Structure 1
Amino acid sequence: MEAISAYLNDLGAAVVLPILITIFALILGQTFGKSLRSGILIGVGFVGINLAIGLLFGQVSPVAQAMADRFDVSLDVVDVGWPSSAAIAFGSHVGAVIIPFCLALNIVLLLLGLTRTFDIDLWNYWHFALVGALVAVGSGSFWWGLFAAGVAMIIVLAMADYAAPYIQKYFNYPDISFPHGTSAPYAFLAIPLNALMDKIPGLNKVEADPAAINKKFGIFGETVFLGAVIGLLLGLAGYGFDDPRADSIAILTLAINLAAIMVILPRMVSILMEGLIPVSEAARNFMSKRFPGRKYYIGLDSAIAIGHPAVIATSLILVPITLLVAIILAPVGNRVLPLVDLATIPFIVAVMVPIFRGNIIRSVIGGAIAIGGGLFIATAIASTFTEVALRSGFENTTGAAEISSLVDGANPLTGLLVWFGYIGPVMNVIALVGALAFAWWVRGVMKKRDADALAAESAEAAPEGSA
């Protein structure tokens, strides 16, 4: 099992997902040619997205390090980033069995009607493995760790179901949900925050979505200019002009590269969606024939959302804000220096942005609150995270005594379940009961939404003047 998990980890999502999509499409009744085309296009899309994210990482990391140096940040827990976190998770004992375990659990929940999401993004099961590995070390029990991983999946699937209508409407992704451990939990922070912001005078009148910005500023409000401006500001904050020649080159290069990312990422996502939409339609037809009245969602990586201009603009603005928040919170308990995962902030805000209706100002505020609170969680679990890393064979080359991450070390769901694991078995059982009750409640909410939507459609279809 360890060898299989390591092999899938080495293949990565860009290879594993196309294979799964091809098999899935064949099961749904598509021809082999169409199924293979969908799978390959999705793989091509993910390769393009990963290249753009790599470019983003390559540009953001140096300027983030420069900002940390300029601000004289000296925090003793280093953020090692999601690639290391995924390797640590799959390298654990829980990670060795996480894929068959969570896949079986997902199928059971689908059969019981406790979720609508079929999470085919097996590679990202590492999020559940990380929770399980942390609980296993904290509780001293592999079985309680695996138990916690299952609880994490139940909650994430329920959150994905609940947030799916926001995602489907805003991004225009029919029958898609994001059971992504980094993204889904933040929906339940964004929903009350958005309701609160709707009641704050002044803030509730500000339109700051990309379309409104474009309308107000014309050509200078286009996403390509937005990326360039954010790049210039980030560069000035990080590099300054201590060395005019070298710093000006670095700043202008950053501006053009961020402008490129704002243009390239949406194009790569459109390629991925070209492959996915036929599979989504086939899944809808397949389920409507065999299970009339029931809806199902294809669960995917939230990477397909990070190319949206509002998501990437929010994320880039949050880079310096995250470092500033880390510094401000240091006197009151934060020990984590955000570095590697600054480039993966888009995944943290991917589900929040559609809930805020693409409003960049609201999304930045919500993201700053989420990350600020998350830094305390990442600090609290740093010792356990470091212990899991050592047991998984991770080589700590950072020079720091302890390590952690924003993805998923700062995640509220991770923090909650690890805390329950510290307390003991009784709290683990309570967590399972709570997770199942939550999934049942979401099931009821979704049924009510369906009934309301059907009633609205019937009202629209009724002849004029009819009762």
Structure 2
Amino acid sequence: MFIIDYIVGMGASVMMPLIFIILGLILRLSISKSIKAGLMVGIGFIGLSITVNLMIDSLTPVSNAIVQRFGLHLTVLDMGWPAAAAVAMGTRVGALVIPVCVAINVLMLYTKTTRILNVDIWNLWHHAFTGSLVAIITGNLWLGVLAAGLNCIVTMVIADRTTADVEKYLNLPGISVPHGFSASFVPAAWLVNAIVDRIPGVRDIKIDTDVIQKRLSILGDPACLGAIIGAILAIIAGVDVKSVLQTAITMAAVMTIIPRMAKMLMEGVYPISERIQEIAQSRAGSFGRISIGLDSAVSVGHPVTLSVSMLMIPIMLILAAIIPGNEFLPFASLTGLPFAFVLVTAVCRGDMFRTLLTGLITLSLALLIGTALAPLVTSTAISTGFSLPHGATSISSVDYAGAMLPWVIIKGFYFKTIGIAVLIICALLLALWNRKKIRLEDQELMQSESTQASIGE
């Protein structure tokens, strides 16, 4: 645990390169290729981190100005995901979550209930967050660990079921995104797709990057789109002309730089991914196809993801003011909204209309869930020694206290034995269902390869 804590404490930009270098050596890549892969992953993460922080630094004063301009006075303060992660990893559940979730991942690989090798160790804090809240309400550490494990299993299944969409619509072959926050919005996206597909006329609405670029010409370019949305946000905030222009240029830079940093990161991932596939194939299908599980940051720069995220900032503040029963003031989490839409964009096939519709539904619920979980989040934070902001009596966060998955799991533990049994059965059934889907996909792949071979002959 000391070694794990030490490595995690270095941060993702150091931890991920070390993981990939060690993984490359274990997979018998040459030392030079392993080091190169690790360094490229580290460079990509640093580039993404710098760019995302640039976006946060630019949008934070704009978001603050919007809050002040609309005069929002709500009692539950938003502590943001960094503070939520620190609280989650600072509990006893957080101390155990990494070895527990790694063991679950290995077990699921061996039982073929997943095909993801998750190396995104840092974001296991999402599972620790759920487990920590459960430990508070039950007073039992091991029930908290169980809750974290259930959260992990469900997230892995969702990541598996979205792998094909991630490859096709986000252009990330061999990559999955078992990111707790991103995965939590996927069921709603599936539901939105199912409903929209059954409504004549509405199902024909399609607004993707190709449509935007075709109809708006240069205005549909990601850089121009970022500049336009950034300027609109700044104008809504009522800031001066200088700030409007600075925000516009910064958002244009973000929309341009993030995809390039993600591409650089992928240069480090590909050699590891290809080597894993080679080993899997050489073992006569003992594992089948395996994908690498990465942070959703690898595709946070998709034009639809960023556009919808920026549009949702003022919309979410308006929702906070008008939704009955809401006491949660979203602020610190607003600049982290792109992470909510990475998998939604993929599931909605890169369509901005469906992604935005999903965002309206899920983030409306996030405000109410964040309000409902605020007492638990506050108790957990205080128990870890977290200092509440001056004057604050209640805190919460969109990520991860506003997500549907942890809320469902926590609610299940309120029903004690019956609720826990239902949660365990549901998680196991989802894993078995995923295993069945994986087997069918492998059979289809084998048939397709056999057909192609016959045609070739």
Measured after TM superposition, the shift of residue 360 of structure 1 is: 1.3
Q: 2:348 aligns with which of 337, 340, 356?
A: 356
Deviates further, 19-28 or 192-201: 192-201
Instruction: State yes or no: 1:124 paired with 2:123.
Output: yes
Corresponding residue of 1:288: 281
Q: How far apart in 2 are the matches of 1:203 and 1:310?
A: 19
Measured after TM superposition, the shift of residue 378 of structure 1 is: 1.1
Q: Secondary structure at the match of 2:117?
A: strand
Measured after TM superposition, the shift of residue 6 of structure 1 is: 4.7
Q: 2:379 aligns with which of 381, 384, 387?
A: 387
Deviates further, 250-259 or 359-368: 359-368
Q: Following superposition of structure 1 onto structure 2, how do residues 74-93 of structure 1 map, counting pairs within 5 Å?
A: 74-93=73-92
Q: Deviations over 1:288-332 (max 9, x none)?
A: 112427122211111101011121112111111111111121xx2
Measured after TM superposition, the shift of residue 457 of structure 1 is: 5.1
Deviates further, 94-103 or 31-40: 94-103
* 8 Å Cα contact 1:236/1:251 also seen in 2: yes
Q: How far apart in 1 are the matches of 2:212 and 2:280?
A: 41
Deviates further, 60-69 or 34-43: 60-69
Q: How far apart in 2 are the matches of 1:91 and 1:110?
A: 29
* 8 Å Cα contact 1:6/1:90 also seen in 2: no
* 8 Å Cα contact 2:320/2:326 also seen in 1: yes
* 8 Å Cα contact 1:382/1:404 also seen in 2: yes
Instruction: State yes or no: 1:414 paired with 2:403.
Output: no
Q: Deviations over 1:370-422 (max 9, x none)?
A: 11112111111110000110111111125321101010001111101111122
Q: How far apart in 2 are the matches of 1:455 and 1:99?
A: 38
Corresponding residue of 1:244: none
Q: How far apart in 2 are the matches of 1:155 and 1:182?
A: 12
Deviates further, 100-109 or 78-87: 100-109
Corresponding residue of 1:248: 241
Instruction: State yes or no: 1:321 paired with 2:320.
Output: no
Q: 2:415 aligns with which of 398, 401, 423?
A: 423
Q: Secondary structure at the match of 1:298?
A: strand
Corresponding residue of 1:172: 171
Q: How far apart in 1 are the matches of 2:214 and 2:312?
A: 24
Q: How far apart in 1 are the matches of 2:122 and 2:279?
A: 25
- Which one-letter code corresponds to 1:43 in the other structure? G
- Which one-letter code corresponds to 1:452 in the other structure? E
Q: Deviations over 1:99-141 (max 9, x none)?
A: 1121112112211222111211111111111111000001111
* 8 Å Cα contact 1:66/1:238 also seen in 2: yes
Runs of 4+ in 1 over 6 A off after TM superposition: none
Q: Deviations over 1:9-30 (max 9, x none)?
A: 4311111111011111111121
Q: 1:432 aligns with which of 424, 427, 430?
A: 424
Q: How far apart in 1 are the matches of 2:449 and 2:209?
A: 30
- Which one-letter code corresponds to 2:114 in the other structure? T
Instruction: State yes or no: 1:263 paired with 2:256.
Output: yes
Q: How far apart in 2 are the matches of 1:379 and 1:5?
A: 33
Measured after TM superposition, the shift of residue 199 of structure 1 is: 3.0
Q: Deviations over 1:129-177 (max 9, x none)?
A: 1111000001111110011111111111111111111111112222211
Measured after TM superposition, the shift of residue 34 of structure 1 is: 0.3
Q: Following superposition of structure 1 onto structure 2, how do residues 121-270 of structure 1 map, counting pairs within 5 Å?
A: 121-239=120-238, 247-270=240-263
* 8 Å Cα contact 2:192/2:357 also seen in 1: no
Q: Following superposition of structure 1 onto structure 2, how do residues 50-65 of structure 1 map, counting pairs within 5 Å?
A: 50-65=49-64
- Which one-letter code corresponds to 1:224 in the other structure? A
Q: Deviations over 1:420-454 (max 9, x none)?
A: 12221332232112101111112212322333344
Q: Secondary structure at the match of 1:68?
A: helix
Q: Following superposition of structure 1 onto structure 2, how do residues 5-24 of structure 1 map, counting pairs within 5 Å?
A: 6-24=5-23
Q: How many residues align?
A: 456
Q: How far apart in 2 are the matches of 1:129 and 1:5?
A: 15
Q: Secondary structure at the match of 1:285?
A: helix
Corresponding residue of 1:400: 392
User: TM-score, structure 1 length as denominator?
Assistant: 0.94
Q: How far apart in 2 are the matches of 1:11 and 1:162?
A: 32
Q: How far apart in 2 are the matches of 1:395 and 1:249?
A: 35
Measured after TM superposition, the shift of residue 276 of structure 1 is: 0.8
Q: How far apart in 2 are the matches of 1:203 and 1:426?
A: 41
Corresponding residue of 2:442: 450
Q: How far apart in 2 are the matches of 1:262 and 1:34?
A: 30
User: TM-score, structure 2 length as denominator?
Assistant: 0.96
* 8 Å Cα contact 2:162/2:346 also seen in 1: no
| Identity %, equivalent residues | 36
Corresponding residue of 2:104: 105
Q: Following superposition of structure 1 onto structure 2, how do residues 334-345 of structure 1 map, counting pairs within 5 Å?
A: 334-345=326-337
- Which one-letter code corresponds to 1:273 in the other structure? M
